């Protein structure tokens, strides 16, 4: 059967808008993923509508996000004060409004539904059946994986989410995994059919994340020219483990007290998730460890500004307990900055140990301090890693991500058409 060319895609990102500033609240790598993927698809002639929940009455119902991309704000629940854990109660309203928006269009308006995160997958499964188009789903994070690697004091994901994820895996026509490891976890933990899982790496905007002159950006950011800059960028929550970096820095200064005079540790981001319960806890830990003279807390910044911070850094630390991919690590490497990362999840794909950065087993402060010290003090190693970081980053581009994702869409569309023939 002849399959018509792909024309329009409905993306669903219920709990966080791609227009939100990454680095605070629930906005992070997934926001970047959704908007960059949509824009690259639009550049290839595909129209993309992104459905997300409205969080302010001031938001226009439809906001253009580039040629061929529209963000559609759906009213479901109160605009503010609704936690991610309370969102399942708004799924019915959100789904109804998504279906209503499509009902105003000619029959067959969308060719495929691509849902992001399990809450969106629940809505996507309903839209799939109503519209008669395939559902492609990206998990981004998985409860069973997160619960197996909880940070100390973090809250396990609830059984309702686990059940919801299992339902989405069963309903989806195709599942997109960020890495081979994630694909294996979908099969082993969620009984996904291997034939319905495709690995598509996320990308990096190599026009934005590129090397800047370090002396220039340090001067502009108020950083000493000769500083050892150990950067953390991301949401401040136990899962991302910025506390591991602070404890490692404290250990490093015990071993090498002479480093204190030129050490700067910027923490770029805002509280999120369970970190919202104690937004001041990381600053209190910094004071407790005697690091107030070296730690700088910086509010979340736009992508272009983050690229400048990464270029200014000696290294970027990514000590997370789990990452489905680790977009910050890929972005940092694209600026030519080595990454010191936890050897978990997608970070083992993004960071090439000993070539573009260093991977650290576990989260013990002494092991992390040793890795930080190696990069800071071994000039030959650092220069080698800087070159390797640039090479490694070239493996990841949003154009390639879009091309491979469109191939998954076309396969799902063709298989559905064949099954109905």
The answer to whether 346 is a known ligand-binding residue is no
The answer to whether 125 is a known ligand-binding residue is no
The answer to whether 213 is a known ligand-binding residue is no
The answer to whether position 222 is within a domain reads yes
| Global pTM exceeds 0.85 | yes
The answer to whether 84 is a known ligand-binding residue is yes
**Do the strands 174-177 and 135-138 form a parallel or antiparallel pair, or are they unpaired?**
parallel
The answer to whether 144 is a known ligand-binding residue is no
The answer to whether 106 is a known ligand-binding residue is no
Q: For residue 22, what pLDDT is reported? A: 64
Number of independent structural domains in the chain: 2
The answer to whether 288 is a known ligand-binding residue is no
The answer to whether position 208 is within a domain reads no
Co-location of 279 and 137 in the same domain: no
Domain that holds residue 144: 8-203+397-420
Co-location of 306 and 332 in the same domain: yes
Cα gap 12→7, rounded to integer Å: 17
The answer to whether position 53 is within a domain reads yes
Co-location of 25 and 116 in the same domain: yes
The answer to whether 27 is a known ligand-binding residue is yes
The answer to whether 235 is a known ligand-binding residue is yes
Q: For residue 279, what pLDDT is reported? A: 55
Co-location of 179 and 247 in the same domain: no
Q: For residue 277, what pLDDT is reported? A: 46
Co-location of 401 and 389 in the same domain: no
The answer to whether 90 is a known ligand-binding residue is no
Residue with tokens 């959704």: 34
The answer to whether position 158 is within a domain reads yes
Q: How many alpha carbons fall within 13 Å on the CB side of residue 87? A: 25
Co-location of 310 and 163 in the same domain: no
- Are 137 and 182 in contact by the 8 Å Cβ rule? The answer is no
> What is the pLDDT tens value at each position of the chain, 421 positions in all?
445 678 999 999 998 888 877 655 666 788 899 999 999 999 999 999 999 999 888 889 999 998 999 999 999 888 776 677 778 888 999 999 999 988 888 888 999 999 999 999 999 999 999 999 999 999 999 999 999 988 877 889 999 999 999 999 999 999 999 999 999 999 999 999 999 999 999 999 999 999 999 999 999 999 999 999 999 999 898 889 999 999 999 999 999 999 999 999 999 998 755 444 445 889 999 999 999 999 999 999 999 999 999 999 999 999 999 999 999 999 999 999 999 999 999 999 999 999 999 999 999 999 999 999 999 999 999 999 999 999 999 999 999 999 999 999 999 999 998 887 6
Q: For residue 278, what pLDDT is reported? A: 47
Helix axes 327-334, 379-393, angle to 10 degrees: 110
Co-location of 158 and 244 in the same domain: no
Q: For residue 272, what pLDDT is reported? A: 59
The answer to whether position 181 is within a domain reads yes
The answer to whether 36 is a known ligand-binding residue is no
Phi/psi of residue 322, nearest 5 degrees: -160, 145
Question: Tell me, what CATH number does 266's domain have?
Answer: 3.40.50.2000
The answer to whether position 359 is within a domain reads yes
Co-location of 125 and 161 in the same domain: yes
The answer to whether 401 is a known ligand-binding residue is no
Joined tokens for residue 49: 């509508």
Q: What is the full DSSP assignment across 232-287?
A: EES-BSGGG-HHHHHHHHHHHHHH-GGGGGGEEEEEE--B-GGGGGSTTHHHHHHH
The answer to whether position 1 is within a domain reads no
The DSSP secondary-structure symbol of 57 reads T
The answer to whether position 246 is within a domain reads yes
The answer to whether 337 is a known ligand-binding residue is yes
Co-location of 357 and 240 in the same domain: yes
The answer to whether 240 is a known ligand-binding residue is yes
Co-location of 161 and 286 in the same domain: no
The answer to whether 331 is a known ligand-binding residue is yes
**Do the strands 62-64 and 69-74 form a parallel or antiparallel pair, or are they unpaired?**
antiparallel
Co-location of 68 and 143 in the same domain: yes
Co-location of 56 and 140 in the same domain: yes
The answer to whether 242 is a known ligand-binding residue is no
b/e sequence 286-313, b meaning 16+ C-beta within 10 Å: beebebeebbbebebbeeeebbbbbbbb
């Amino acid at each position: 059967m002849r399959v018509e060319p792909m024309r329009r895609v409905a993306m669903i990102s219920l709990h966080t808008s791609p227009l939100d500033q990454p680095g605070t609240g629930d906005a992070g790598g997934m926001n970047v993923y959704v908007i960059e993927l949509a824009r690259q698809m639009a550049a290839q002639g595909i129209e993309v509508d992104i459905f997300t929940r409205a969080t302010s009455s001031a938001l226009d119902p439809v906001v253009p996000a580039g040629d061929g991309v529209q963000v559609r704000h759906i009213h479901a629940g109160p605009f503010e004060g609704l936690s991610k854990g309370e969102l399942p109660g708004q799924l019915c309203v959100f789904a109804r409004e998504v279906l209503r928006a499509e009902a105003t269009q000619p029959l067959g308006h969308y060719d495929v539904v691509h849902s992001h995160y399990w809450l969106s997958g629940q809505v996507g499964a309903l839209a799939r059946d109503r519209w008669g188009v395939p559902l492609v789903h990206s998990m981004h994070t998985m409860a069973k994986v997160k619960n197996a690697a909880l940070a100390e004091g973090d809250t396990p994901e609830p059984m309702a989410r686990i059940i919801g994820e299992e339902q989405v895996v069963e309903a989806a026509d195709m599942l997109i995994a960020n890495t081979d490891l994630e694909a294996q976890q979908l099969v082993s933990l969620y009984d996904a059919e291997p034939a319905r899982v495709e690995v598509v790496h996320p990308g990096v905007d190599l026009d934005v994340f590129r090397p800047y002159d370090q002396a220039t950006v340090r001067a502009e950011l108020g950083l000493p020219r000769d500083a050892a800059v150990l950067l953390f960028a991301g949401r401040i929550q136990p899962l991302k483990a910025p506390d591991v970096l602070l404890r490692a820095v404290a250990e490093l200064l015990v071993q090498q007290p002479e480093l204190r005079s030129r050490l700067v540790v910027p923490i770029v981001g805002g509280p999120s998730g369970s970190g919202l319960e104690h937004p001041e806890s990381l600053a209190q830990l910094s004071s407790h460890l005697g690091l107030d003279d070296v730690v700088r807390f910086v509010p979340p910044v736009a992508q272009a500004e983050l690229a400048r911070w990464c270029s200014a850094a000696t290294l970027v630390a990514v000590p997370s307990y789990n990452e489905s991919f680790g977009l910050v690590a890929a972005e940092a490497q694209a600026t030519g900055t080595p990454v010191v990362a936890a050897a978990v999840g997608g970070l083992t794909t993004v960071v090439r140990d000993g070539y573009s950065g260093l991977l650290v087993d576990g989260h013990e402060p002494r092991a992390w301090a040793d890795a930080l010290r190696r990069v800071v003090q071994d000039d030959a190693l650092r220069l080698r890693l800087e070159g390797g970081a640039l090479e490694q980053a070239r493996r990841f581009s949003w154009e390639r991500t879009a091309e491979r994702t469109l191939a998954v869409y076309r396969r799902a569309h063709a298989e559905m058409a064949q099954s109905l023939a």
